[in-house]
Amino acid sequence: MDNAPTASGAVPPKKQNLDSATKLVKDGWAIYKNDFKTYLGIALLAGLGVYLIGIANIIHPEESSANLPVVWIPFVIIAGLVYIVMILWGSVALIYKASHSSEPVTLSQAFGSAKGKVWPVFWAGVLTALVTFAGFILVIIPGIIVGVWLTFTSYVVVIEGLRGVAALKRSRYYVKGYWWQVWGRLVAIGIIIGLPVGIIGLIVQAILGKALGTLVSDIISLFAYPLGIITTYLLYKNIVQIKSEQTSPNVPISVPQPSPEMPNLIT
């Protein structure tokens, strides 16, 4: 039985469930809507590389990419680099903004505060990708398991200030014992937010054609981008709260204490 007395006679606390995906999305939308202009502004700036790549595809469609003029190659390379940097920077800024949702954080403050976290998040992302890829090489199931374990790595880096392997371990610690609940909520959140955006994107591409339609649908996706970040942050905050209330002496990593510039997730 789950609540059977332990050897010491104490009855372990009943395992708490994470908030439902619908509640997380609903609460996430409330936060997004409360400062819509700032969140959307971050997303639209983060999409700078999206616009550049979209323009390149319109001028030289993907079908003729093999015949791309030499003069366009530097532009395409720069556009790709801008895409990576701005999406990464924007994601960090959105995490920072979401974690300070009770404070009047402006667009410039969000990007400014995120600047020092971009490289650590990038490096943690590389480690996450390598570990997950190693799991897929073994078998597909271990790859999926590892991927869910490391879901909160970026949030740990931005909010708790941990880096590299320490951030990966902290994310795994949070998910441990809640793998199915985290996986289920991530899938449900992806469907709730991503499915409507995907359907709209297909309709837009059917009307405007592949090149222009892809650019417009990508811009539409940027509107949903903050909601995904905020909702995942709320899932992270929820699991941190639950883990902080567990008092097992075998917990390998202590519950984080927020740095001075970060919000207290426990209260």
Backbone angles phi, psi at 245, to 5 degrees: -90, -5
Q: Where are the beta strands (DSSP E) in the chain?
A: none
User: 80, 123 in Cβ contact below 8 A?
Assistant: no
Q: Per-residue pLDDT tens for 16-33?
A: 889 999 999 999 999 999
CA dihedral 65, 70, 72, 73 (to 10 degrees): 80
Judged against a pLDDT cut of 90, whether residue 266 lies above it is answered with: no
The CB-based long-range contact list for 109-113 (8 Å cut-off, 24+ gap) reads 110/38, 110/42, 111/42, 111/45, 113/261
Which 8-state DSSP code applies to residue 60?
A: S
Selection from 176, 160, 175, 173 nearest residue 252 by Cα: 173
The H or E element that residue 199 is part of is helix 195-208
Contact 111, 89 (CB under 8 A): yes
pLDDT score of 52: 86
CA–CA gap between residue 57 and residue 29 (Å, rounded): 33
| Distance linking the first and last C-alpha atoms of the chain | 31
Helix axes 164-175, 140-149, angle to 10 degrees: 100
Rounded-to-integer distance, Cα 138 and Cα 158, Å? 30
- Distance separating alpha carbons of residues 246 and 252, to the nearest angstrom: 12
Q: Span 193-210, mean pLDDT? A: 92
For residue 58, count other CB atoms closer than 10 A to its CB. Answer: 14
Query: Does residue 53 surpass a pLDDT of 50?
Result: yes
Structure confidence at residue 10 (pLDDT): 53
Identify the helix (H) or strand (E) that includes residue 232: helix 210-244
> Quick one: pLDDT at residue 140?
66
What's the CA gap between 193 and 142, in Å, rounded?
Answer: 26
Picking from 101, 99, 114, the residue whose alpha carbon sits closest to that of residue 45 is: 114
Between residues 72 and 236, the one the model is more confident about: 236
Any idea where the domains of the chain sit in the sequence? 21-244
Helices (H) and strands (E) in the chain, counts: 12, 0
Structure tokens at 132: 């997950």
What is the pLDDT confidence band of residue 245, given thresholds at 50, 70 and 90? confident
For residue 3, what pLDDT is reported? 52
The answer to whether 135 and 147 are in contact (CB under 8 A) is: yes
User: Scanning the structure block, which residue is given the tokens 């505060």?
Assistant: 113
* pLDDT of 222 above 90: yes
Is the pLDDT score of 110 beyond 50?
A: yes
156 closest CA partner among 175, 145, 171, 178: 171
Q: Is the pLDDT of residue 8 over 90?
A: no
What is the pLDDT at residue 259?
A: 42
143-197 per-position pLDDT tens digit: 888 889 999 999 999 999 999 999 999 999 999 999 999 999 999 999 999 999 9
